[in-house]
C-alpha cells in the first residue's frame, strides 16, 4: 500500500534551503546520465528532489500518480509506467515499501521496469528488503546485462530532505564508483560492505538498534512520568550522560507530548525487524529484545498506529491494557 503523503517539497533553488542540496554547480563532474526514480513516498520524494536539484536529468513514476506532480513542477519528467520510466534511463532508482513491491515494479508484469532497461544500465535499490530478494533480483537483471546495487538508507525523512542519509551499499566496486555521484546527492556517508545483499544485512542490524533504542526511550519516559518527575528536565540531564541517543535527542519531546512526526513509519519498521529476525534465525541466533518490540508494534498496528512514526511505541505504555499484560514481575530485592 502507498504510505501517507510525504511532507511538502522545499524550494528547489537557492543556497542554504533546508532539504535541498547545494547549487548543482558546486558538484563537479556530474555524470549527466539519465535517472529514473520509482517510489515517491516519505523518503523517495525528497531524495528525488535532491537529485533534481543536483542537476540529474530525472524521470519519476509512482503508483499514486498525484505524487509525481510536485517533482514535475521542479522539472522532472513523468512516466505512466515503470517500463516507460526505465526506457532511456542509465540509472534506475527504487525506493519502495517491501519485497513484493520491488519485484512487481522491477521484474514482474508487462509494465515492469526490466522491459525498459538497456544492457549496461544500473539499478540502485534504496528499498529495505530481504538480502535474498536483492540477490535474486541482481541475478535476474544480470541475465540481460543490467547491474544492481542494494543501497538501503538510514536517517529518516529528516536525512532524506537534508541530503544527509547514510547509504549502506552492497554490490561491485565498479558499480559503486559509477553510482557514487548520485549517491552523494542523497547521502552524506556512503559505505560499501561487500557484494549484493550486504547492504540489506547491515540495514537489518540498523533496525535492531532502532528497535532497542526507541523502545528503551519510550519505556524510560513512561517510568519517569509515572514517578511524577519533570520529564523535560530529566531528558535534558540524561542527554549529557551515557544514556544519550539519537532517539532521546530527537524523539523524546514528541513522545512526551503525544506527537509522532513522521520520520519512518512504524509499520515499515515492523516489516524490517521481521527481516532481521529471519536473518538471525538462519544463524541460530535469538533476538529477545527485537522479538518483544515486534510484538509491541503488532499491537500498535492493530490499534491503528502503523502509519505513525516509530516513536509511537510510546503509545504502547499508554494503553489501558498495559498493566494487565502477562509480563513477569521482577523478583523482590532481599
Tell me if residue 295 falls in helix, strand or coil: helix
The set of long-range contacts for 204-210, using a CB threshold of 8 Å and a minimum separation of 24, is: 204/131, 204/272, 204/275, 204/276, 204/279, 205/276, 206/154, 206/168, 207/128, 207/269, 207/272, 207/273, 207/275, 207/276, 208/273, 208/276, 208/287, 208/289, 208/290, 210/247, 210/264, 210/269, 210/310
Q: What is the distance between the alpha carbons of residues 182 and 54, in angstroms, rounded to a whole number?
A: 9
Statement: residue 193 has pLDDT above 80: yes
Q: Which of 103, 178, 203, 315 is catalytic?
A: 203
Across 61-71, average pLDDT: 97
| 279 close to 330: Cβ distance less than 8 angstroms | no
Query: Which is it for strands 153-154 and 165-169: parallel, antiparallel or unpaired?
Result: antiparallel
Query: Tell me, what's the pLDDT at 40?
Result: 98
Tell me the pLDDT tens digit for each residue of 92-118. 999 999 999 999 999 998 999 999 999
Which domains, from first to last, does the chain contain? Answer: 24-194 (3.40.50.720), 200-324 (1.10.1040.10)
Residue percentage of the chain with pLDDT more than 70: 86
Determine the Cα–Cα distance for residues 235 and 191; give it in Å rounded to an integer. Answer: 32
Q: What per-residue confidence (pLDDT) applies to 24?
A: 37
Query: pLDDT, tens digit, for every residue of 145-179?
Result: 999 999 999 999 999 999 999 999 999 999 999 99
Residues of 80-99 as b/e, b for ≥16 C-beta within 10 angstroms?
Answer: ebbbbbbbbbbbbbbbbbbb
Q: What is the pTM of this model?
A: 0.87
**Residue 22 has what pLDDT?**
36
Mean of pLDDT over the chain: 90
Q: Is pLDDT at 216 greater than 60 in this prediction?
A: yes
The DSSP secondary-structure symbol of 282 reads H
CB burial of residue 1 (10 Å; 0-12, 13-18, 19+): exposed
271 part of the active site: no
Confidence of residue 17 (pLDDT cuts 50, 70, 90): very low
Confidence at residue 327, expressed as pLDDT on a 0 to 100 scale: 52
Q: What is the pLDDT of residue 334?
A: 45
- What is the pLDDT, as a whole number, of residue 32? 74
Residue 243: closest CA among 209, 216, 224: 216
Amino acid at each position: 500500500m502507498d504510505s501517507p503523503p510525504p511532507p511538502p517539497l522545499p524550494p528547489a533553488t537557492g543556497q542554504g534551503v533546508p532539504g535541498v542540496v547545494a547549487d548543482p554547480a558546486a558538484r563537479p563532474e556530474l555524470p549527466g546520465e539519465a535517472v529514473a526514480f520509482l517510489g515517491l513516498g516519505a523518503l523517495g520524494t525528497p531524495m528525488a528532489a535532491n537529485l533534481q536539484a543536483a542537476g540529474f536529468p530525472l524521470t519519476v513514476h509512482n503508483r499514486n500518480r498525484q505524487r509525481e506532480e510536485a517533482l514535475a513542477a521542479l522539472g522532472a519528467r513523468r512516466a505512466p509506467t515503470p517500463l516507460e520510466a526505465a526506457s532511456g534511463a542509465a540509472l534506475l532508482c527504487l525506493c519502495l515499501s517491501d519485497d513484493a513491491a520491488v519485484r512487481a515494479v522491477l521484474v514482474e508484469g508487462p509494465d515492469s521496469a526490466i522491459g525498459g532497461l538497456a544492457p549496461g544500465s544500473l539499478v540502485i535499490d534504496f528499498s529495505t528488503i530481504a538480502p535474498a530478494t536483492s540477490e535474486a533480483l541482481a541475478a535476474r537483471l544480470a541475465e540481460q546485462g543490467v547491474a544492481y546495487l542494494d543501497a538501503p538508507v538510514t536517517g529518516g525523512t529528516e536525512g532524506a530532505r537534508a541530503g544527509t542519509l547514510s547509504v549502506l551499499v552492497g554490490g561491485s566496486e565498479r558499480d559503486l564508483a559509477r553510482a557514487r555521484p548520485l549517491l552523494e546527492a542523497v547521502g552524506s556517508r556512503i559505505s560499501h560492505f561487500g557484494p549484493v545483499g550486504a547492504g540489506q544485512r547491515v540495514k537489518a542490524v540498523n533496525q535492531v538498534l532502532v528497535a532497542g533504542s526507541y523502545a528503551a526511550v519510550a519505556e524510560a519516559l513512561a517510568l519517569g512520568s509515572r514517578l511524577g518527575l519533570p520529564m523535560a528536565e530529566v531528558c535534558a540531564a540524561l542527554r549529557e550522560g551515557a544514556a544519550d541517543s539519537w532517539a532521546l535527542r530527537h524523539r523524546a519531546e514528541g513522545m512526551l507530548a503525544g506527537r509522532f512526526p513522521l520520520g519512518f513509519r512504524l509499520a515499515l519498521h515492523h516489516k524490517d525487524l521481521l527481516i532481521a529476525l529471519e536473518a538471525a534465525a538462519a544463524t541460530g541466533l535469538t533476538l529477545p529484545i527485537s522479538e518483544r518490540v515486534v510484538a509491541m508494534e503488532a499491537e500498535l498496528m492493530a490499534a491503528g498506529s502503523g502509519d505513525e512514526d516509530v516513536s509511537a511505541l510510546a503509545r504502547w505504555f499508554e494503553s489501558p491494557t498495559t498493566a494487565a499484560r502477562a509480563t513477569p514481575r521482577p523478583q523482590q530485592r532481599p
